């Protein structure tokens, strides 16, 4: 039902940033799923805009290569991954500090 609801909203509001809890936190715990989806939805448009502007700015400045963004688990995300699940980057600062 959640996925179908997201499809309906996307049809009616194609520019809306939509998050499903199963899409960002596929675990069996309602509170954790809800809060992760809530955070993802709240930060989504701003983070996506920032990453898109950063990527465009780097291209316009003639800086080549692929852009990667630090994830909360210490790994790297592509801009597409960040735009779909910006919540992956929420704790990226502390992760980067620990990894050096």
Q: Is 95 left (phi over 0), alpha (psi -120 to 50) or beta?
A: alpha
Res 77 pLDDT > 80: yes
Res 56 pLDDT > 90: yes
- Cβ atoms < 10 Å from Cβ of 53: 10
Whole-model pTM? 0.80
Domains: count for the chain: 1
Determine contact, residues 2/22, Cβ cutoff 8 Å.
Answer: yes
Give residue 76's pLDDT.
93
Domain of residue 58: give its range.
2-99
Determine contact, residues 82/55, Cβ cutoff 8 Å.
Answer: no
Distance of CA 21 to CAs 1, 57, 84, 95, Å?
Answer: 12, 32, 13, 24
Mean pLDDT of the 20-49 span: 89
Confidence band, pLDDT 50/70/90 cuts, at residue 29: confident
């Amino acid at each position: 039902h959640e996925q179908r609801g997201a499809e309906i909203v996307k049809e009616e509001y194609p520019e809306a940033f939509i998050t499903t809890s199963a899409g960002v936190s596929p675990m069996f715990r309602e509170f954790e799923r809800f809060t992760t989806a809530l955070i993802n939805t709240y930060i989504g448009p701003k983070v996506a805009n920032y990453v898109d502007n950063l990527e465009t700015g780097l291209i316009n400045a003639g800086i080549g290569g692929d852009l990667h963004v630090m994830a909360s688990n210490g790994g790297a995300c592509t801009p597409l991954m960040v735009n779909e699940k910006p919540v992956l980057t929420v704790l990226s600062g502390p992760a980067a500090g620990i990894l050096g």
